[in-house]
Amino acid sequence: MKRFFCSCGAEIFFDNTICVRCGRLVGVDAEGCEMFTLKPKKNGLVAATVGYNTRYYRFCEHRSQESLGCNLLIREEDSGTQCVSCRLTRVIPDQSIPRNLVRWRTLESAKRRMVFNMYKNRLPFENRYQNPVNGLCFDFLEDRRSNPNLTNDVVYTGHSNGVITVNAAEADPQYRVTVREEMNERYRTTLGHFRHEIGHYFWMRLIQGTKWEWSFKQLFGDHNEDYDAALKRYYAEGPDPNWQENHISAYASMHPLEDWAETWAHYMHMNDTLETATAFKMLDVDIDQTEFNIVLNKWVELTVIMNALNRSVGKPDAYPFILSSTVYKKLEYVRELIVACRY
């Protein structure tokens, strides 16, 4: 994430709705990958000055702090009442249950960051209104483990034909810790879940049935392998003891499509974190243009610092991963695909 500044000179952060120094309104144009200081105008519009030009926006209907605190802006010509991120959500947790507002806010906050990153990388996608068959949307569902009034015993997070289902309990820190320990995972975050599942969507959108499918099979394996059988085998027998030689995570070794989604999510973590580190002048690298082995060397250098800082305050490593030469190639493949398929 790059850095943003209010017109008063103070730094403003991606989730801010006001500048904490001067109190001015601020908002994010996700499509333009910008954040602005805003001035209220007539007819519910707010104005942002960009160079010598003035742009007009409206607020997302979920902007209030009593709702989601969403600070994404709606462009003047857009007749919708929700921003480009909020309108992707099709089902929300039952709001008659007080804790579900907190869950919904947590999920939407992670999704906004992911959507911003999608626009920053100029990734082509359609919502469910634009494409009713395979358009992107999100269902935030509960099951009886967190809401005994429901009929579903278990809701699994996953993707199917553009629909990304997320168990609303993933917004609860204690739930994520419990599942992470049960699954013997090194890393589990709400943002990581979103990036993993959107990887499945972009496999469908960018690879399936295209010239990229052949090279995908050469690197990741045959996506036609029986998924249910692979899943049962993984949970019955566990990952290959040598999974680190070819995969970014143990779960990635389960099936080529999960290998892809884990690698995609990992690249998006790198992409966002390296941009942030460059913005703060910790290093200087262009993840799109720099030779990829240099990008990865810079990434390793940064993660050593990240882990050392975490250990200094008694927290686990921020980056508990090892990158093999095969994983290097898979990450490079993700970059090549993204750059080639930009709109």
Phi, psi angles (nearest 5°) of residue 313: -110, 15
The alpha carbon dihedral of 261, 316, 234, 194 has a sign of negative
Computed over every residue of the chain, the mean pLDDT equals 92
Q: With cut-offs at 50, 70 and 90, classify the pLDDT of residue 61.
A: very high
pLDDT computed for residue 139 by the predictor? 96
C-alpha 115 chain-centroid distance: 7
CA–CA gap between residue 255 and residue 236 (Å, rounded): 14
CA–CA gap between residue 179 and residue 56 (Å, rounded): 44
Lowest mean pLDDT among 11-20, 133-142, 153-162, 270-279: 153-162
pLDDT beyond 80 at 148: no
246 with 324: CB under 8 angstroms? yes
At 296, which amino acid appears? L
pLDDT computed for residue 181 by the predictor? 63
Q: Mutual orientation of helices 256-279 and 292-312 as an angle, nearest 10°?
A: 80
At 91, which amino acid appears? V
pLDDT beyond 90 at 240: no
